[in-house]
Amino acid sequence: MAGYNFFSGMLGSANNSGTSIWSMYSSLGDYSSIKSGSYHKLLKAYYNETKSEDTTKKNDSVKSALKNKNVDSVTKKEMNTIKQSTDELQKSAATLLEKGSKSVYGEDNKDKLVSAVKNFVTDYNNVIDKAGDSSSEKVLSKTLSMVNNTKAYSKSLEEIGITVGKDNKLSVDEEKLKNASSNTVKGMLQAGNSFAGQTLQKAAQIGAAAQNVSTGASLYGGSGSYTYQNVNSFFDSYL
């Protein structure tokens, strides 16, 4: 699954309890944008394997291996990178929320607004890249929440020059942004419960999930079930 970004072409419903990774993939067939190639082979391998008599034994062995797996240095590096990317997104989102003398919405300086929005978009896309490649179910789930929230705003964002692409990343039409109604732009990006404000909160949640995985704080849920899942290793066992 190397090189495949979970969110750059498809969405799935993640199980927040983390008790089973199957729930994250159970509804993938509902989406028309599922990629072919390596992911398709993995999914096909999984469904073929579930028909065999020794599926239960394989599942048990995989779960046992995961349960005994420590958060290694590679995982920590991955989670720290995700955390850093979400920190940057929170900063750029916070800039858009500023009011008074620090506001970027001055009518006489639209370039300041464009620059701030472009920084926000760059940081948002970076989180999609980093968190979308995560091996943690919790991080993927939180990232999915941010992606779904952005999609809910897609039509309104288009009105101010921000487009949500098929890969779930954002792009900016600078001229359209400059010419958009100031009140509309502020409503979308400056208000506390605006798109920018909600994205800041979503980024913080992704960062917290990554930090928990990095420190091993979320390896086991309240019921004692294992909540950290290494997606790549899990599916590799069926190849």
In-domain check, residue 118: yes
The pLDDT score that the predictor gives to residue 216 is 78
Distance CA 78, CA 82 (A): 6
The pLDDT score that the predictor gives to residue 4 is 53
The pLDDT score that the predictor gives to residue 193 is 92
The pLDDT score that the predictor gives to residue 228 is 39
Token pair of 62, please? 């995989």
The pLDDT score that the predictor gives to residue 107 is 85
In-domain check, residue 216: yes
**180 phi/psi in degrees, rounded to 5:** -70, 155
Name the least confident of 8-12, 83-87, 95-99, 207-211. 8-12
CA atoms within 13 A on the CB side of 215: 8
Amino acid at 124: Y
The pLDDT score that the predictor gives to residue 190 is 95
- Tell whether the model's pLDDT for residue 136 goes beyond 50: yes
Chain segment 46-77, per-residue pLDDT in tens:
455 555 555 555 555 555 554 445 568 888 99
In-domain check, residue 96: yes
In-domain check, residue 12: no
- Of 86, 123, 202, residue with least CA distance to 115: 123
Distance CA 122, CA 107 (A): 23
Q: What is the DSSP string of 66-130?
A: HHT----HHHHHHHHHHHHHHHHHHHHHHHHH--GGG-S--TT-HHHHHHHHHHHHHHHHHHHHH
> Which range marks the domain in which residue 91 is found?
72-222
Chain segment 149-171, per-residue pLDDT in tens:
999 999 999 999 999 999 999 99
Chain segment 88-107, per-residue pLDDT in tens:
999 999 999 999 999 999 88
Amino acid at 163: T
Distance CA 140, CA 24 (A): 9
Q: Please tell me the total count of domains within the chain.
A: 1
The pLDDT score that the predictor gives to residue 61 is 56
Chain segment 171-202, per-residue pLDDT in tens:
999 999 999 999 999 999 998 899 999 999 99
Q: Which residues of 58-78 are buried (b: 16+ CB within 10 A; e: fewer)?
A: ebeebbeebeeeebeeebeeb
Rama region for 40: left / alpha / beta (φ>0; ψ in -120 to 50; rest): alpha
Distance CA 33, CA 167 (A): 9
Q: What is the DSSP string of 217-237?
A: TTSB-TTS-B----HHHHHHT
In-domain check, residue 61: no
Taking residue 35's Cβ as centre, other Cβ atoms within 10 Å add up to 12
The pLDDT score that the predictor gives to residue 108 is 86
In-domain check, residue 45: no
Q: Which residues of 134-156 are buried (b: 16+ CB within 10 A; e: fewer)?
A: bbbbbbbbbbbbbbeebeebeee
In-domain check, residue 38: no
- Tell whether the model's pLDDT for residue 218 goes beyond 70: no
In-domain check, residue 190: yes
